[in-house]
Amino acid sequence: MNIALIGFGNVGQGFAAILRDKANDLHAQYGFDGKIVAVATGSRGTLYDPKGLDINALLIAIETGDLSAYPESATLERNWIVQRIATESNADAVVEVSPTNLQTGQPALDICYAALDSGKHVVLANKGPVAVAYHDLMKRAQAANKLVRFEATVMAGTPSIRLALQVLAGCKITSAKGILNGTTNYILTQMEGGMAYGSALQQAQELGYAETDPSGDVDGWDAAGKAIILGAALFGKQWTLDDLDVTGISGISSDDVAAAKQAGERWKLIATVTPEGGVVRPVRLSLADPLAGVGGATNAITYASDLMGDVTLIGAGAGRKETGFAALADLLDIHRLT
Ligand code: HSE
């Protein structure tokens, strides 16, 4: 499978490293041979080699700040713009891991459309296009007879989407409720241990949990974007951010965290999604609540369903390799189905 990688930040690099490190296992176990043929970044250069790029050299080059240090070769192109890669490259799948814009989904959304229209599958870790245009993406994919997968967009590689859409198929899911943002959960957990808000946020950024613009995390918009994706995938809705009731954690002080702790409670940023709408807000939970025990960048989601009652999934919700894995899992799903 030839892969074009749109975006080469934390997640893109994490994904590339997994593809390199697991190449032998993926071939032996699944007959999967993933080759990165293109990498496009917003400001750090673009590479296309129809014969495949060397992942080690890519990772070394990007360490220098951009891709110009990547070694020359006869078939290497450095001037293809991202639209051209999406349409004219020999990629079988485009993996969209560029920074999220939850208002417009752009520029990634048009890249996804171009890729589908020119016969490429699309895998997204970028939440913007999925939140803004879920149903259009699916229609476009169906018309092109290609697949769109987006496991990474909610709870990184913890299979929240696959659980709901594939594993629980046949159950009617009536609501989803959970901790869907790793950065804020990490900050709240560190604050409970006595760390100041600013230092905890800085750590979350250093660990690769936070969005490029972390206000999207702390103000609740990242969790809201995930709630929109769940509303579309579970209930067929197409909400916008304005349709949701969203409050972030910036109003929670160290004193609030300490007061909750003293009372045997914990603050968590909880997203709730039902067919009627989505709500994101900090909630003080009793320690007896299973969600209260979910600490650090870990996420959790409880699906309420007719046949199974509540089914809860807990796992990593952010991080370089955790999100990179989600993209790999989606590509393996596409490989299995095509
Ligand atoms: N910024 C997001 C988070 C990354 O902290 O959860 C994963 O979507």
Per-residue pLDDT of the chain (338 residues; tens, 9 = 90+): 999 999 999 999 999 999 999 999 999 999 999 999 999 999 999 999 999 999 999 999 999 999 999 999 999 999 999 999 999 999 999 999 999 999 999 999 999 999 999 999 999 999 999 999 999 999 999 999 999 999 999 999 999 999 999 999 999 999 999 999 999 999 999 999 999 999 999 999 998 888 888 999 999 999 999 999 999 999 999 999 999 999 999 999 999 999 999 999 999 999 999 999 999 999 999 998 889 999 999 999 999 999 999 999 999 999 899 999 999 999 999 999 99
Q: End-to-end alpha-carbon separation of the chain, Å?
A: 11
Contact between 92 and 3 (Cβ < 8 Å): yes
Q: Taking the alpha carbons of 323, 324, 327, 333 in that order, is the dihedral positive or negative?
A: negative
Pick from 321, 262, 266: nearest CA to 296: 266
Q: Which residues contact 256 (CB under 8 A, 6 or more apart)?
A: 267
Report the C-alpha gap between 39 and 85 in whole angstroms: 9
> Which atom of ligand 1 lies nearest, measured to the CA of 210?
1
Closest-lying ligand 1 atom to the alpha carbon of residue 180:
6
Q: What are phi and psi of 229, to 5 degrees?
A: -60, -45
Give 149's strand partners. 123
Q: How far is the C-alpha of 260 from the C-alpha of 255, rounded, in Å?
A: 9
With 0-12 CB in 10 A as exposed, 13-18 as middle and 19+ as buried, what is 172? exposed
Distant-in-sequence, close-in-space partners of 120: CB < 8 Å, separation ≥ 6? 4, 86, 91, 92, 93, 94, 146
Best residue among 160, 218, 222, 323 to mutate for probing ligand 1's pocket (most ligand atoms within 8 Å of CB) is 222
Read off the amino acid at residue 193.
G
Residue nearest to atom 4 of ligand 1 (CA): 318
Of 99, 77, 70, 72, whose CA–CA distance to 8 is shortest? 99
Residue 172 known to be catalytic: no
Which residue ranges have their beta carbon within 6 Å of ligand 1? 156, 181-183, 209-211, 217, 222, 317-318
Q: Which atom of ligand 1 is closest in space to residue 153's alpha carbon?
A: 8
Q: Give residue 211 CA to ligand 1 midpoint distance, Å.
A: 6
